Structure 1
Amino acid sequence: MKRRINLASHEASLYASELSAEKNFEESRSLKKVFRYGNYTQYYGYRNPSKCDDSRLRYIPFCWMKSKTILDVGCNTGHFTLSLARKMRPNKVDAIDIDKNLIGISRRNILHYESTNSCKNDESNINNNIAPISEKTGNCEGKTIGCVCENLEQYHGDERKVSQIVNFACSNFVLTSSALVEMCKPEYDVILMLSVSKWIHLNFRDEGLKRCFDRAYKQLKSTGILILEPQPFESYKKKRKIDPDIARNFQTIQFMPDQFHAYLTGIGFSHWKVLNDETQSSSSFDKRPIIAYFKGDVNSFLCSTSKIINESTVS
Structure 2
Amino acid sequence: MNNGVELEANGGIKLNNGSTKEEKKKPGVLARTVKNFKRDKYLLLIILPVIVYFAIFNYFPMYGVLIAFKKFQPLKGILGSPWVGFMYFEQFFKSIYFGRLMRNTILLSLYSLLWGFPVPIIFALLLNELRERFFKKLVQTVSYLPHFISIVVVSGMIINFTSPTDGIINIILKNFGFESINFMSEPGYFRTIYISSGIWQEFGWGSIIYLAAIAGIDPQLYEAAEIDGASRWSKMMHITLPCLMPTIIILLILQVGHLMEVGFEKVLLLYNPSTYETADVIATFVYKRGIINSEYSFSAAIGLFNNIINLTLLITVNYISRKLSKTSLW
Instruction: Using structure 2 for the length normalisation, give the TM-score.
Output: 0.23
Q: Which structure has the greater CA radius of gyration?
A: 2
Q: Which one has the bigger helix percentage? A: 2
Instruction: Using structure 1 for the length normalisation, give the TM-score.
Output: 0.23
Larger RCO, structures 1/2 (Cα 8 Å, 6+ apart) = 2
Q: Which one has the bigger strand percentage? A: 1
